[in-house]
Structure 1
Amino acid sequence: MNLQSQIDDLRGLFGQRNAMYLKGQRLFFLLEAARIFAKHVRKKSSKPNLESSLASLFSWTCAVADEFRDLPVVDAMREKFPPGRCAYCGEPVCACHIEKRKDIVLAPPDPIQLAWSANDWAANLMAVYGEGNRKNGMQFVIGRLYEEIGETSSAQLLDIHRHGMKLEAMRKSVSHELADVFSWILVISGMLEVDLDTVLSEKYSGPHYRCGKRPCNCGPHYLHHDMEHPYVLQRTR
């Protein structure tokens, strides 16, 4: 299943329920999912808890993207993260300086990436950026994730006040910010050696674990329920 299909699959499960939430509420849930994941990292929680909370973080990023109606996030990722090289410095292993780097040169979208799953994207990001991110450490990476979530929110809030900005440019701006959010989730997946394809499939394929329905028919969502998910419970007994 490619990345777009994985995103669409989560819409099929949670789309109707998520439609009950406004943009700001979805962003809150995304930030809360990031907070819970960061807490699991800090407390050195079990691998199943890390995997499940990372999948929840991925799911809420999809929920935010879904609010914008067919936002071309995968295309934005193809432009920003081409196969085998950094779009900023052009090197196969990123040689950028964190404090001062060149402007990005968006790549022509490579058709090969349309077939990539979350794991494939993670592998490419690790090949290009893994060395630097390992040196900087997990807390740095989590900080960058929070930064990109904030920039996604800023893009929504600020772009609507740029009166000369056309709709296509607004959608592209948000697409690129969400592409960055996805990229940091996938970098984390690679650093923790999480098989995200399998975790997403086992957590979210089929009916929802609480209501037994697909689409999910649950009422209000509470992220602490994630620790009660069979994916976690079956692996921590």
Structure 2
Amino acid sequence: MAPNTKEVAPGLLPLLRVYTDGTVERLVSSPFVPPTLNETITGVSSKDISISSDVSARLYLPKLRRTDGSLKFPILVYFRRSFCAGSAFSSDHHCYINTLVSQAKILSISVEYRVAPEHPLPTAYEDSWTALQWVSSHKLSGASTTNTQHLNGSFLDQEPWLLDHADFQQFFIGGDTTGANIVHNITLRAGVEDLHGNTKILGTFLCQPYFWAPS
């Protein structure tokens, strides 16, 4: 009997190795870290939330003083790198967004979208659009979850940090590498489809944007 070995299918080395039985081995990764409340160095608080059955995110809030109960911050919806690997919950990404939030004094939502090849494009674009619509739904302060509908169904619970501290007059989206690719695509979509509450994107930033096609 032949040895029990897996056959490697064409993949995206050195990021991942795909096998013909459909399993995927990711070769480049950063360990996951939990969110923190009042992080020791920056004072930034973070927490993980579920946006829908398929999409989640990590929220970051700058350090608040006792007198800052109603303070509003600019919003940054951020899309992390890699269509195939990485995570909004990885240690390197968490450290980056934590520092950015501390220095820029913004409220950030770092989106965890599904990755290929298990979930090929346009899944990442659709997940990211779902997250953007979820964030913008909070502009309708006090609206019930039944009034914050997405095309594919209801969002999960609304988020107090966004209701209490998000300034929807300063609404930005950004990302790095493939995250910047996502920013480009969903900004174009926001030009033809309304966001909840008629939310307007004030600005975008694309860090080392990744646009690639077969030669």
User: TM-score, length-normalised on structure 2?
Assistant: 0.26
Richer in helix (by share): 1
Structure of higher CA gyration radius = 2
